Structure 1
Amino acid sequence: MPQPSATPTVERVDNRHRYEILVDGKRAGLTAYRDRGEQRVFYHTEVDDAFAGQGLAAQLVQEALADVRRSDKRIVPVCPYVAKYLNRHEEFNDITDPVTVEVLQWLDTELG
């Protein structure tokens, strides 16, 4: 398996409500969110099969959550991957809110 030549980069794409991880300028994965007041509700994370097994999902979520902190927002981990990541990385506990029925109903409405 060849190693990617470029360091993966993560960027927030506000108009698409997601963070994308790019490898050699190609989108390798994304984590999608919607903002609910001060909460950033993460609901889906995916990495393209061609880039699986390189730790990109973890890097993507790490940088996305760090951006949430810099933005003075709070994390709501509806996405199972984000929730699993948070279980292993307690440094985000202070800005993580529980997933509630209200949040899930709101998200359902947002996503139509």
Structure 2
Amino acid sequence: MITVTDNRTANRFEARAGETLAGFADYFRTSELVAFVHTEVDPAFEGRGVGSQLARTAVESVQTEGLRVLAVCPFIAGWLIRHPQYAHLEYRAASKVTD
């Protein structure tokens, strides 16, 4: 069984199988958003849905906090594309055109 927790001291969500670190998603947190910058799953756990469970728990945690998600990490970005029900959480900078 995989358990995902937010290790705020390390600025990452961690997926563990018992005491074994199966994967993690590094982030930077601001008052507006959580920017996911790198996700990694141990090769011994690949193909078991660890990355998906990690992404889902992380994104849902951000949602619970009322923040947005900035997916710098290609894995989290791809996961969000495959799960459009979370599209409303994606952070997009507002651009202003000035003359």
How do residues 21-100 of structure 1 correspond to structure 2 at under 5 angstroms? 21-98=15-92
Count residues with an aligned counterpart: 94
Distance 2:65 2:25 in 1: 17
Query: Secondary structure of the residue that 2:52 maps to in structure 1?
Result: helix
* Regions of 4+ moved over 6 Å: none
Structure 1 gap ranges (5+) = 1-6, 101-112
Distance 1:14 1:99 in 2: 25
Code of the residue aligned with 1:37 in structure 2: it is: S
Provide Cα deviations, 1:26-45, integer angstroms capped at 9, x if missing partner: 11100010012211000000
Pick from 13, 16, 31 the counterpart of residue 19 of structure 1. 13
CA RMSD of superposed structures (Å): 1.4
Identity of aligned residues (%): 32
Distance 1:81 1:58 in 2: 9
Code of the residue aligned with 2:78 in structure 1: it is: K
Q: Which has the higher helix share?
A: 1
Structure 2 gap ranges (5+) = 95-99
2:97 corresponds in structure 1 to none
Q: How far did 1:85 drift?
A: 0.3
Distance 1:18 1:88 in 2: 22
Whether contact under 8 Å (1:77, 1:99) holds in the other structure is no
Distance 1:73 1:90 in 2: 17
Distance 1:36 1:8 in 2: 27
Q: Which has the higher strand share?
A: 2
Distance 1:74 1:86 in 2: 12
Distance 1:24 1:42 in 2: 24
Distance 1:60 1:27 in 2: 12
